[in-house]
Structures are given as structure tokens and as C-alpha cells.
């Protein structure tokens, strides 16, 4: 066998000569492909956009622009926009922890009968109530309790009826909120600033200065009292996550500070309609 024949031989670890690396030539003639850089989504969302406010161009965070668009629709009565805003407020810790929002009162309805809670509100004032106040409310309620209500109370086992020393608990709202440093605004800071922004408005003929959260709650509550079940469900959903830690197992009725017994009865009817409860709504005891 000649030397030339040996060079052309093909076998184990001897690929055909034409497919072997050639001297002086690269095995990758096209070169190494460039590294593909993934898009920086956070940078895209943080890039400010130019908008016109008061006739002047200003740079605004994209999150702020988004929330303001939803706020405009929400104040016009668009329930999905209101729901989205409260989801964002809750997500970024912008909802108040207190059981009190200016202009509204929250009555515990799982700790005591609804009629008893309303009597305390009308005759004592807004909660929290002292054990002495609760004793007064219990005494007045039991004077006028019907047989149907008695059976219902035994079924519900209300703590305020069964525990002579019942005391309402109030969530701690004294912890200071950390504010971001000056300069770059994070999305969390943007959401919190929108939630706490003050708005001058008029409610029932009176001038008010409300935060965005309070303004949305008032808009939602007006629709709830007008008989819109979707608004009632959304309002209950908004309050439940951060109010259930307040008194017992939770359950609250949301009413304006200037609530009347008629408003209360209507509120109970809406809640019963939502929960499909067979128990009738009785007027609060006098």
C-alpha cells in the first residue's frame, strides 16, 4: 500500500480528508456568534414618559401615568378600574391599617348582632366601644329581641353576647412608614404617593380634603347604597384583608358617619342579598 493510499484511508478516528480541519483555516469560518442580551424589563418600565400637565411638558413615571388613568376611570364609576387600583394599593402596602377612614364607620357584624352594633353607633358613637358601652348595648338589644333573633344569636354564638368582658380590639396604626430617599422613585413609592395624595372635593354639600383611597371608598360606597351589588361585593373585598384582624373573626358593615337607620337597613339588605342569607333584616332597636 502506498503512502497516498494511507492518506486516503477512512476508519476509526480517521474521517474523510475533506472534512478534516485544514491547516491555516478556521473551523468556524463565520466566527463566534454575538451574545444575545436579554431585555431589561425593569428599565423599560422605569423609563419616564413625557406628558403635558397644566400646559407644560413634564416627565412622569410610567406607573404614575398608569394609575392616574385608572383613577380617572374609577372616579367616573368604572368598577374594574377601582378593583385594580385597590389591588395595587394592597400589593405595595398603601392601604391604611386603621379601622377608621375619614367619613366612614365600620361596625363589627360577626362579633355582635347587627341591630346591637347599630344601636351602639347611634347612641354611643363610633367604635371602639368599652366593655361598659357593650353592656349597655347588650341590655337594650335583649329588651327588644324577637324569638327569631334569639334562635339566630344562639346559632351565631356572638362573643359580645356570650362574653361579659368582651372588648373590641383596634389594629396598631402607629408604626411610621419608611419614605424612599430623594432621587429615583421606585414603583412602590409611586403607588404609595398616589394612594396618599390629597384631593379637595365636596361631599353632601361639605368641602372635604380626602386621600385617593378615601375618595375611591366614598365613590364605591355611594354606588353600594344605591343598590349595586357588585359595588357592595367589591367594598367588602377591599376591607376584609386588613380589617379581619381587628375584632374577632371579622365581618363589618361600612356606613357613612352621618348614617341613618334607613341607610343601615338598606346596607343589611344588600349584604343579605350578596350572601343569600334567609334571615330578614330588622330595623335597629331604639
Q: Is it the case that residue 111 has pLDDT exceeding 90?
A: no
Contacts 24+ apart (CB under 8 A), 278-285: 279/148, 279/152, 280/148, 281/114, 282/115, 282/146, 282/149, 283/115, 284/114, 284/115, 284/118, 284/119, 284/122, 285/115, 285/116, 285/119, 285/140, 285/141, 285/143, 285/144
**204-237: pLDDT as tens digits:** 777 878 889 888 888 888 888 888 888 888 887 7
- 106 or 122, which is more confident: 122
| pTM exceeds cut of 0.85 | no
Whether residue 164 has pLDDT greater than 60: yes
Task: Say what the pLDDT of residue 215 is.
Answer: 87
The pLDDT of 121-145, averaged and rounded, is: 84
Residues 128-148 have a mean pLDDT of 87
pLDDT in the model for residue 280: 41
**pLDDT at residue 270 greater than cutoff 50:** yes
Residue 96's pLDDT is what?
63
Pick from 255, 245, 248, 218: which is nearest to 121 by CA? Answer: 255
pLDDT value at 253 more than 60: no
Statement: residue 113 has pLDDT above 80: yes
Average pLDDT, the chain: 72
pLDDT of 176 over the 60 cut: no
SS percent in the chain: helix, strand, coil, step 5: 45, 10, 40
The pLDDT of residue 142: 92
Grid coordinates in use for 29? 469560518
- CA gap 112, 284 in Å, rounded: 13
Q: Is the pLDDT of residue 67 over 90?
A: yes
Predicted pLDDT at 92: 85
| Whether the Cβ atoms of residue 130 and residue 124 lie closer than 8 Å to each other | no
Q: What is the pLDDT of residue 85?
A: 93
Confidence of residue 286 (pLDDT cuts 50, 70, 90): very low
Q: For residue 279, with 0-12 CB atoms within 10 Å meaning exposed, 13-18 middle and 19 or more buried, which class applies?
A: middle
**Residues 40-58: tens digit of each pLDDT:** 666 666 677 788 877 888 8
Residue 166: the pLDDT is: 76
Amino acid at each position: 500500500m502506498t503512502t497516498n493510499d494511507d492518506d486516503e484511508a477512512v476508519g476509526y478516528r480517521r474521517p474523510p480528508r475533506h472534512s478534516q480541519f485544514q491547516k491555516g483555516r478556521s473551523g468556524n469560518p463565520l466566527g463566534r456568534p454575538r451574545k444575545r442580551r436579554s431585555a431589561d424589563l425593569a428599565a423599560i418600565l422605569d423609563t419616564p414618559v413625557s406628558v403635558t400637565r397644566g400646559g407644560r411638558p413634564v416627565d412622569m413615571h410610567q406607573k404614575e401615568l398608569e394609575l392616574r388613568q385608572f383613577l380617572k376611570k374609577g372616579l367616573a364609576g368604572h368598577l374594574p378600574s377601582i378593583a385594580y387600583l385597590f389591588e395595587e394599593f394592597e400589593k405595595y402596602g398603601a392601604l391604611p391599617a386603621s379601622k377608621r377612614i375619614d367619613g366612614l364607620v365600620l361596625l363589627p357584624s360577626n362579633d355582635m348582632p347587627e341591630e346591637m352594633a347599630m344601636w351602639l353607633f347611634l347612641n354611643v358613637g363610633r367604635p371602639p366601644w368599652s366593655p361598659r358601652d357593650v353592656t349597655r348595648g347588650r341590655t337594650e338589644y335583649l329588651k327588644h329581641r324577637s324569638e327569631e333573633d334569639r334562635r339566630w344569636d344562639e346559632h351565631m354564638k356572638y362573643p359580645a353576647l356570650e362574653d361579659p368582658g368582651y372588648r373590641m380590639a383596634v389594629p396598631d396604626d402607629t408604626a411610621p412608614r419608611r419614605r424612599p430617599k430623594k432621587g429615583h422613585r421606585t414603583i412602590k413609592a409611586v403607588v404609595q404617593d398616589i394612594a396618599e395624595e390629597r384631593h379637595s372635593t365636596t361631599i353632601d354639600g361639605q368641602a372635604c380634603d380626602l386621600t385617593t383611597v378615601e375618595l375611591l371608598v366614598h365613590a364605591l360606597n355611594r354606588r353600594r347604597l344605591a343598590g349595586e351589588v357588585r359595588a357592595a361585593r367589591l367594598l367588602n373585598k377591599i376591607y376584609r384583608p386588613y380589617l379581619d384582624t381587628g375584632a374577632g373573626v371579622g365581618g363589618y358593615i361600612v356606613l357613612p358617619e352621618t348614617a341613618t337607620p334607613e341607610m343601615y337597613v338598606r346596607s343589611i339588605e344588600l349584604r343579605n342579598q350578596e350572601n343569600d342569607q334567609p334571615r330578614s333584616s330588622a330595623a335597629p332597636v331604639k
